[in-house]
Structure 1
Amino acid sequence: MTKSPVLWKMLTLIGCLLLLLVPLSMLSSLITERSAWRDSVADKLSQSTSGPQRLFGPLIAVPWSEIATETRDGKDVTVQVNHLRYYLPDSLKVTGDQQVEQRKVGIYQGQVWRTGITVNATFNKEQLDDMAKPGIILGAPQLVMGVGDSRGISSVTPLNVGDKQFDFQPGSGLPGNSEGLHVALPAEMLQQKTLALNFAIKLQGTRQLEVVPLGKNTTFDLKSNWPHPGFTGSFLPEKHQITPEGFTARWQSSWFANNLNSLVRNDFTVSTEKLPAFSAMVVNPVDQYQQTERAVKYAILLIGLTYMAFFLFETLTALRVHPMQYLLVGLSLVMFFLVLLALSEHIGFNLAWLTASLTCAAINGFYLQAVLQGWRRSLLFVGGVLVLDAVLWQLLQSEDSALLLGTGVLMAALAAVMALTRNIDWYRLSATVTSDAATEEGQNGEGRFGLWK
């Protein structure tokens, strides 16, 4: 059994496949590296413009103090303890109109968005009723609004409260995130049963826009010209519509769902980044690196099926293909994925796939014409490789049914091999090849590996 030429042929082909794993591994590392460079573009845009934005507010920060008695050194001492109460809106409506622009850094591109945001909030005095007690002194309130990156604040209108207007000042003073804006309010406004206010802010950012639903009832309506949104965060939009011209989305939440009324209250110290939020992300529509990486995972399937076709051809004909020729054809298939990666950065994935397939077919067609001793056989194998390329492309496009299609291809290939070799006597084939090798050895006076003569 160990002297069977068919066995040695199969082991040699397996060795060729294992050897090709080395350049495929290097190619995977190159894809990861190029993808990291592409991701760094978003970081560069964030550094030169502004990063992701998270809106936290508006809410009213009310400083208050109480008189308490403490025992120190056996004596009762009266002290004043200071606290901070956050007065949350009873109703919060945020409306945004987003415009996304493409920015290029070298051959890579990223997106910068600008959003005009209108904020309407209503506060109910019942939230402060528990503070109407003797010994509690209320300080001067401030309305605060936190943002993720204050560099993105292009402009902000004055705060409208009834027929009065108040100008915002920089800084939010919120724990864990001081970036934003604030405005001082008259203390008598806290005595109003209902306090309604509104303002508008123009914000710039990259990647995503988030809104923390602080209101007892909060809605967020966003309209954008970007047709490739990513809805992440703690809440999916209640409804959305995506067209080639852009998207619209609407989020809604309440304290029953997010429990923010208990998280943001007295002496609030939780980082605003850890709170639930509505989120809309600007997603890159074509990720050629992810698609190429997925394609490389099918490389062994493509090379293996090609080698199977050569092995079957050798078995059914008297023509022999040398291991070096197997290896060169395998390297040309590896180069297909490298050409795909290089071209996809400039002309897109689908066109790069077509170009790489035709280039690889032309090279193999020219080479196999000499190996297989004829254009007819060469074109037949090249056509088979192009069909495999088309099937592989379909696998990449059909993510949900990729396993089903891949399994079907393997079953079809196995069925074809079994059908074409069902009448072959493998023992007789091995004996014939061994006998031919011995005869040639006697004639030439030297031994040759009879499998590849």
Structure 2
Amino acid sequence: MTEQSIEKHNKWYQDSILIKSCVITILILVLLIPSVWIQGLITDREGYQQDNINSVSDKWSGKQLINGPVLMIPFKKEITVTNSDNKAITHEVIQTLYLLPQNLKIKADIKTQYFQYGIYDAIVYNSKVGIEGSFDKPDLNQLGISSDAIMYDKARLVFGLSDLKGLKNNPSIIIQGHQFTPEPAIDDKLPFDKGLQVNFELPKDQSFTFSYQLDLKGSNELNFLHTGKTTDVEINSDWSNPGFNGRYLPDTRTVSQTGFNAKWHLLYYNRPFPQQWVNDKTILNSNKEVKEALFGVKLQLPIDQYRKILRTTKYSTLIILLTFVSLFLTELIKKQSIHLFNYILIGAAMVVYYTLLLSFSEQIGYNYAYLLASASTIILISLFTSSLLKNRNVAALFAVILTVFYGFIFIIIQLEELSLLFGSIALFVVVAMLMYFSRKINWNNH
């Protein structure tokens, strides 16, 4: 083979569109590896954030679940057993009748605040929760209990709170117009793990009303247990992005930039608890039943910065692909070759962009971090392209293209629910533009 033919062969190898496009495709796939590493780093940082939120919750007060109230009435019952001599012996034992409210009305006002712990933010709140309702007299005939066996003077009204540390003061309980001060409930017959109780004399064969207010603090969530035969709950808050927990969505809700209002009206038909029962403290303690009867609000961030960054990194392959395709088409249209090593450097800059975004967002927030990281990356790649092509106009055009790409991704992240729709439309437009500009390239000359 002559020296001229060898040189021609080498030139064909270097200038082949097919070979170069295949190598660029392989390069894009290789750049997926550091992208996966970065996603793992984001997940780790998000885990650190959750650890710090849990630490704040432990020191301030955790998410709150308000249980009850439940009326506990002791009664006497005679039990006959057979001793070792086969003689029947009758003795008296004390058992407990549990009764749930006939009507239960709860109104909660929640005031939220950010609690900064290091570089992380947690959502904590102060809340005043007003609770009132009524109890009907127990149906003793249904339970087979004599009225004479009831110990009316030993009745207790018990209510639970998942984190008693959140109580800011001792609540005052009003029962039939009489004021009582509750005490911590410590008893193996309690229907809750943690609770407060009031001892009072139950009106014989009468219904009665009650009311009390809880001044408490908590973090992230405020939940309730559907224990009334009818349960009405209203929540007002200054938080503008609520999520609703449990099996019961609010009947009405209004959400604005200044806060939200939500109302529930629940009947006992879907409640997993009976209205009254005897001697079984586990009914309100069962995880399955509690899960079915729990409802409330979660004070969630609209999209926290780590979720936004993670969503942004999922578009990294698309950004790198579109950037390389744009650069490759520019190279072919202008007939100026760019070495593959320079493609690698540009790809590395676009990967490092996500570490910049992550580190900046922890300090100044996602939006400003996105602007700073995007501007830095676009300027760097544009200046590098200008030095490669010796053409400032082409580099400026390339900067505009990158700005459109990064701006498009930012808009997609902000849209949340509509991101798929707008993303699909934009990708269709991009493909159409690539088809249009690719017509100017003579693919058969290489």
Opposite residue 341 of structure 1, the aligned amino acid is L
Matches of residues 220-299 of structure 1 in structure 2 within 5 Å? 220-261=233-274, 266-270=279-283, 271=285, 274=288, 275=290, 276-299=293-316
Paired position in structure 2 for 1:396: 413
Asked whether 1:30 is paired with 2:41, we answer yes
Give 1:424 shift: 4.7
Q: Please give the alpha-carbon distance, in whole angstroms, between the structure 2 residues aligned to 1:377 and 1:342.
A: 31
Opposite residue 375 of structure 1, the aligned amino acid is R
Paired position in structure 1 for 2:215: 202
Paired position in structure 2 for 1:164: 178
Q: Which of 14, 21, 40 does residue 10 from structure 1 map onto? A: 21
Q: Which of 6, 30, 36 does residue 19 from structure 1 map onto? A: 30
Give 1:184 shift: 0.9
Matches of residues 259-408 of structure 1 in structure 2 within 5 Å? 259-261=272-274, 266-270=279-283, 271=285, 274=288, 275=290, 276-408=293-425
Q: Give the conservation status (yes or no) of the 8 Å contact 2:100–2:276.
A: no
Paired position in structure 2 for 1:435: none
Q: Give the conservation status (yes or no) of the 8 Å contact 2:309–2:357.
A: yes
Q: Give the conservation status (yes or no) of the 8 Å contact 1:83–1:267.
A: no
The superposition leaves residues 113-157 of structure 1 with CA deviations (integer Å, 9 ceiling, x where unpaired) of: 111122212111143443564598334221101100111111233
Asked whether 1:47 is paired with 2:58, we answer yes
Paired position in structure 2 for 1:417: 434
Asked whether 1:429 is paired with 2:445, we answer yes
Give 1:177 shift: 3.7
Q: Please give the alpha-carbon distance, in whole angstroms, between the structure 2 residues aligned to 1:243 and 1:417.
A: 42
Matches of residues 169-184 of structure 1 in structure 2 within 5 Å? 169-171=183-185, 173=187, 177-184=192-199
Q: Please give the alpha-carbon distance, in whole angstroms, between the structure 1 residues aligned to 2:286 and 2:278.
A: 13
Kindly tell me: are residues 365 and 222 of structure 1, through their superposed partners in 2, closer, same or farther at Cα, counting changes over 3 Å? Answer: same
Q: Give the conservation status (yes or no) of the 8 Å contact 2:68–2:159.
A: yes
Kindly tell me: are residues 340 and 203 of structure 1, through their superposed partners in 2, closer, same or farther at Cα, counting changes over 3 Å? Answer: same
Asked whether 1:145 is paired with 2:159, we answer yes
Give 1:374 shift: 1.2
Give 1:423 shift: 6.2
Q: Please give the alpha-carbon distance, in whole angstroms, between the structure 1 residues aligned to 2:141 and 2:135.
A: 13
Kindly tell me: are residues 141 and 412 of structure 1, through their superposed partners in 2, closer, same or farther at Cα, counting changes over 3 Å? Answer: same
Q: Please give the alpha-carbon distance, in whole angstroms, between the structure 2 residues aligned to 1:23 and 1:291.
A: 18
Q: Please give the alpha-carbon distance, in whole angstroms, between the structure 1 residues aligned to 2:241 and 2:442.
A: 58
Give 1:408 shift: 2.9
Paired position in structure 1 for 2:7: none
Q: Please give the alpha-carbon distance, in whole angstroms, between the structure 2 residues aligned to 1:291 and 1:8.
A: 37
Kindly tell me: are residues 164 and 307 of structure 1, through their superposed partners in 2, closer, same or farther at Cα, counting changes over 3 Å? Answer: same
Give 1:322 shift: 0.9
Kindly tell me: are residues 357 and 134 of structure 1, through their superposed partners in 2, closer, same or farther at Cα, counting changes over 3 Å? Answer: closer
Paired position in structure 1 for 2:106: 94
Q: Give the conservation status (yes or no) of the 8 Å contact 1:87–1:128.
A: no
Paired position in structure 2 for 1:105: 117
Kindly tell me: are residues 197 and 412 of structure 1, through their superposed partners in 2, closer, same or farther at Cα, counting changes over 3 Å? Answer: closer
**Identity of aligned pairs, percent?**
27
Give me the CA root mean square deviation. 2.4
Q: How many residues align?
A: 426
The answer to which of 236-245 and 397-406 deviates more is 397-406
Give 1:267 shift: 1.0
Opposite residue 350 of structure 2, the aligned amino acid is L
Give 1:381 shift: 0.9
Q: Please give the alpha-carbon distance, in whole angstroms, between the structure 2 residues aligned to 1:262 and 1:408.
A: 55
Q: Give the conservation status (yes or no) of the 8 Å contact 2:229–2:275.
A: no
Kindly tell me: are residues 413 and 223 of structure 1, through their superposed partners in 2, closer, same or farther at Cα, counting changes over 3 Å? Answer: closer
Q: Please give the alpha-carbon distance, in whole angstroms, between the structure 2 residues aligned to 1:14 and 1:42.
A: 42
The answer to which of 102-111 and 341-350 deviates more is 341-350
Paired position in structure 2 for 1:119: 131
Q: Please give the alpha-carbon distance, in whole angstroms, between the structure 2 residues aligned to 1:277 and 1:129.
A: 31
Q: Please give the alpha-carbon distance, in whole angstroms, between the structure 2 residues aligned to 1:293 and 1:39.
A: 15
Paired position in structure 1 for 2:226: 213
Q: Give the conservation status (yes or no) of the 8 Å contact 1:214–1:261.
A: no
Kindly tell me: are residues 135 and 397 of structure 1, through their superposed partners in 2, closer, same or farther at Cα, counting changes over 3 Å? Answer: closer
- Could you list the runs of 5+ residues in structure 1 that have no partner in the other structure? 431-453
Normalising by the residue count of structure 1, what TM-score does the alignment of the two structures yield? 0.87
Q: Please give the alpha-carbon distance, in whole angstroms, between the structure 1 residues aligned to 2:374 and 2:174.
A: 63
Opposite residue 121 of structure 2, the aligned amino acid is Q
The superposition leaves residues 95-124 of structure 1 with CA deviations (integer Å, 9 ceiling, x where unpaired) of: 222222221111111122111122212111
